[in-house]
Structure 1
Amino acid sequence: MALWTDRSGRFSLLKTGVLLLVFVPAAMVAYALWQNDLGPLPYKEALHRIGDWTIRFLVITLALTPLQRILGWPRLALIRRMLGVTTFAYALAHFSLYIVNEKFDLAFVVSEIALRIYLTIGFVALFGLSLLAMTSTDWAVRKLGRNWKRLHLIVYALAALALLHYFIQSKIDVSQPVLWSGFFLLLMIYRVVMKLRWPLSPLVLVGCAILAGLLTAGVEFAWYGLATGVGPFRVLKANLAFAYGLRPAWVVLIAGLAVAALPWLKQAYGLASARLNPARSAATR
């Protein structure tokens, strides 16, 4: 199966479009690096930007199965493997840029990984992602059998480690780590709902969104309270002040409510299509 075809060998617009899009962030960072547009520490800035995209691709990959169920669109499974390998590729590029930033001093890099906890956590996450990438082939699926699924369940723990690495290296301003942790929590709530075999109805999805928003605010409160010198109650209060934009908890809530609206939108689209083309609708029933 080629990168641009489905399992039947036919050209897949979805896979081809995603294949092209995953290269865009790396190309933008490479171009900015080439143009000397990344500030006084270009490689450090580049590794942070690629690290940001590693987290984004990881969370997007985890979102595919819940979205597949919510939308009733099984074709999303076509891009799951591609996005998973993309996540590993960006994580490897992130680590490689760290080595470049340290002027290829491998002894120093190894000592830093051993001594700095956030680097240790990041390296463990990278190693885990490498295992998942290496076993992402059809051959590995056949060879490992039931153990393949058990192995790939570690992706949730790896995501938690990657987010913790993101938090620690971000120091004071953890808005982005909180935001992507909130999305991760929302996806985990969806997983629990699916595990319990509850219907992914709009009402249930609204409840998931509210719970994820509250948990995101709680994560932000706890982080500032435990890991920084910033008053956590000041941060919690900032969630109710919109003069400086939306806090991560609100963004997660809005995203969750948007997902809850998707089944309604799909149903409305189907009804509109049936009215515009009743003959085709009757043929598909």
Structure 2
Amino acid sequence: MVLSSFAQYAPWTDRRGKLSGLRLGVFLLLLLPVCRIFYDLAFGPVFPEPYEQALHESGTWAVRFLLLTLAVTPVRRIFSWNRVAGVRRMIGVSVLFYALLHLGFYAASESWNIVKVASEVVLRFYLTIGFTALAGLAVLGATSFDGAVRRLGRNWQRLHSLVYAIAILGLFHFFLQSKSDVTEATLMAGLFALLMVYRVMAKAGLPLSNVFVLATCAALGAIGTAAIEYAWYALATGIPADRVFLANFDLSTSIRPAVWVAITGLCACGAPVLQWIGEQAGGKLRLRRA
């Protein structure tokens, strides 16, 4: 009886308490980064700052999983895959977990001097931004369960729309702590821009099952990524922004974040094509059987 009750709340089961392959697979994938982080801490190379790598990795995964949470709705619409909505809460809770882990590693790097950690959060702007994002994630995590959804009613959706502002704060924190090399931060910001373009298109009534709409989204996402990168280098660093922008058109040295965002968006264009091919193949098979 106890095991049956637990099964209903286990992350790898559906609402009926039955094992879900999708949920189990996502749950294991969400655990892999933290296992790797602690493995490296225990058995990896020794660094002068032992928690620096773990601090960086935990924060990066928090941002990645936050974007993955925001990608659930576009993926559901583009691929007509409604089941994926069932893992959104699990991914969202993992974002809070990795963000708390990120804070924990920062406290560990400061020898668990909580007073110093608190003063640093107040005095250092990029830490203030990061902690504000963490506080927002904590609120969303505390209200992500069925009981909170029922109690809040319509206000639940309004509260959880704060995830977009939290994502912007998290990405800004990522940029600030990345210093001069913001390649990965730019890529994450570009993917966020692409996801927001998908939402704008859907709000405008344009179908995300249309190849031309998806191609337009890919182009706009890439343009937005290049604009974010240019603005950062122009406003926050002494590195020539023009040269960085022109590097997007030179694929002989490296592929810039704007190009990766374009590739990601164009890959999504294959979904309607594959669905059309599947429908045509299914129709021919039915005709043969008839």
CA-CA distance at 1:10 after TM superposition:
2.6
Match of 1:122 among 130, 152, 155: 130
> Structure 1 residue 84 and structure 2 residue 92: aligned?
yes
1:151 is aligned to: 159
SS of 2:269's partner is helix
CA-CA distance at 1:99 after TM superposition:
0.2
Q: Deviations over 1:78-109 (max 9, x none)?
A: 10000000010000000100000110011111
> Structure 1 residue 207 and structure 2 residue 216: aligned?
yes
CA-CA distance at 1:39 after TM superposition:
3.0
TM-score (norm 2): 0.93
Q: Is the 8 A contact 1:81 1:136 kept in 2?
A: yes
Q: What is the number of residues matched between the two proteins?
A: 281
Q: Is the 8 A contact 1:213 1:250 kept in 2?
A: yes
1:193-204 correspondence runs (5 A): 193-200=201-208, 201-204=210-213
CA-CA distance at 1:202 after TM superposition:
1.0
Q: Deviations over 1:155-197 (max 9, x none)?
A: 0000000000000000000000100000000000111111111
Match of 2:276 among 253, 256, 267: 267
1:141 is aligned to: 149
CA–CA separation in structure 2 for the residues paired with 1:204 and 1:26:
37
CA-CA distance at 1:273 after TM superposition:
5.0
CA–CA separation in structure 2 for the residues paired with 1:124 and 1:3:
28
Greater Cα offset, 81-90 or 6-15: 6-15
Q: Is the 8 A contact 1:102 1:109 kept in 2?
A: yes
The structure-2 alpha-carbon separation of the partners of 1:280 and 1:126, relative to structure 1 and needing over 3 Å to count, comes to: farther
Amino acid at match of 1:211: L
> Structure 1 residue 240 and structure 2 residue 254: aligned?
no
> Structure 1 residue 218 and structure 2 residue 227: aligned?
yes
Q: Is the 8 A contact 1:4 1:15 kept in 2?
A: yes
> Structure 1 residue 108 and structure 2 residue 116: aligned?
yes
Amino acid at match of 1:224: Y
Q: Which runs of 4+ in 1 moved over 3 A?
A: 269-275, 277-282
Greater Cα offset, 32-41 or 223-232: 32-41
CA-CA distance at 1:52 after TM superposition:
0.7
Amino acid at match of 1:205: L
CA–CA separation in structure 1 for the residues paired with 2:82 and 2:169:
29
CA–CA separation in structure 2 for the residues paired with 1:86 and 1:281:
47
Could you list the runs of 5+ residues in structure 1 that have no partner in the other structure? none
Q: Is the 8 A contact 1:43 1:100 kept in 2?
A: yes
TM-score (norm 1): 0.95
Q: Deviations over 1:218-259 (max 9, x none)?
A: 110110000001000110111111222200000000000001
CA–CA separation in structure 2 for the residues paired with 1:152 and 1:123:
18
Percent identity over the alignment is: 47
Q: Cα RMSD over matched residues? A: 1.7
CA-CA distance at 1:261 after TM superposition:
1.5
Could you list the runs of 5+ residues in structure 2 that have no partner in the other structure? 1-7
Q: Is the 8 A contact 1:25 1:53 kept in 2?
A: yes
1:9 is aligned to: 17
CA–CA separation in structure 2 for the residues paired with 1:61 and 1:281:
42
1:189 is aligned to: 197
